[in-house]
Amino acid sequence: MLEFLNGLQPLEKGFWYVALISSVIFAIQSIMTFVGGHDADGINADFSGDLDHVDAPFQFFSFRNLINFMLGFGWTGVVFYNTIGNRFLLIALATLIGCLFVYLFFLMIQQIMKLSEDNTFNIENLVNASGQVYIPIPENMNGKGKVQISVKGAHHELDAMTEGGDRLASGTSVIVEKIKDKILIVKKLN
C-alpha cells in the first residue's frame, strides 16, 4: 500500500510519514470526539467541562496540538516539496503552517467555550424568584414547608418558611424575599 514511498528522497518520505500518521490519529481523535469516546484513548482533553475558568491559559503543549502541528507540517511539506527547491525554506514554511494549525485550533476552542452555559445552582440567586408551594408552609416561621422553583430550566424543591401570618397551602404562588441558613423565606404572590 505504501510502495510509492520507496522511491522518494528521505525528506519527502519523512513528510509523507508525518502527514499520513498524523492524519490517521487526527481522524481517530475526531471520531472519538463526536461519538463521546474522548477519554477512551487514555489522554486527557485540552479542556474539561469545568468552564468557570474560561480565561485560563490555553494548554499549548498537548497531544492534540502536537497532532495539529504535525498535520500542517506534514501536508505542507508534501504539497510544496517539488515546488520549493530550498529545503530549509520548505521546512521553515512547513513549521510556520504547523504553528498556524495550532493557532486555528486555539481559535476554534475559544469560540466553542463562548457557547458554554453556566448551569451551576446557587441558592443565593433565588431572591425575587417565584415558585409554587409544594408542601404547605406554616405561618409566622413556625415550621418548614417546601416550594418548587424553576431555575434555568431545572426544577428545584427547596425548604421554605414564611414570616406572614397566614399558612401557605399547596399550589400557592410565592416569591422569595430572602434566604436564611439555606432556607427560602417566601411570601404569597399577589
Per DSSP, the three-state class of 151 is strand
The span from the CA of 81 to the CA of 101, in Å, is 19
Is the model's pLDDT at 140 over the cut of 90? yes
Q: What is the CATH number of domain 123-188?
A: 2.40.50.140
b (16+ CB within 10 A) / e for 82-110: eebeeeeebbebbeebbeebbeebbeeee
pLDDT in tens, 60-105: 678 888 999 999 999 999 999 999 999 999 999 999 999 999 999 8
Mean pLDDT of 106-126: 82
C-alpha cell at 185: 423565606
Domain with CATH 2.40.50.140 in the chain: 123-188
Angle between helices 10-35 and 63-80 (to 10 degrees): 140
Q: Note the pLDDT of residue 30.
A: 86
Dihedral (C-alpha) 31, 35, 39, 41: value to the nearest 10 degrees?
-30
| Angle made by CA atoms 8, 12, 14, in degrees to the nearest 5 | 110
Q: Which residue has the higher pLDDT, 51 or 20?
A: 20
The span from the CA of 8 to the CA of 77, in Å, is 13
Q: How far is CA 2 from the centre of its chain?
A: 39
Q: Note the pLDDT of residue 53.
A: 46
Task: Give the range among 70-74, 121-125, 169-173, 185-189 with minimum mean pLDDT.
Answer: 121-125
Give 153's pLDDT tier (boundaries 50, 70, 90).
confident
Q: Note the pLDDT of residue 18.
A: 96
pTM of the model: 0.53
Backbone angles phi, psi at 27, to 5 degrees: -60, -45
Q: Note the pLDDT of residue 39.
A: 47
Give 35's pLDDT tier (boundaries 50, 70, 90).
confident
> Rounded mean pLDDT of the chain?
85
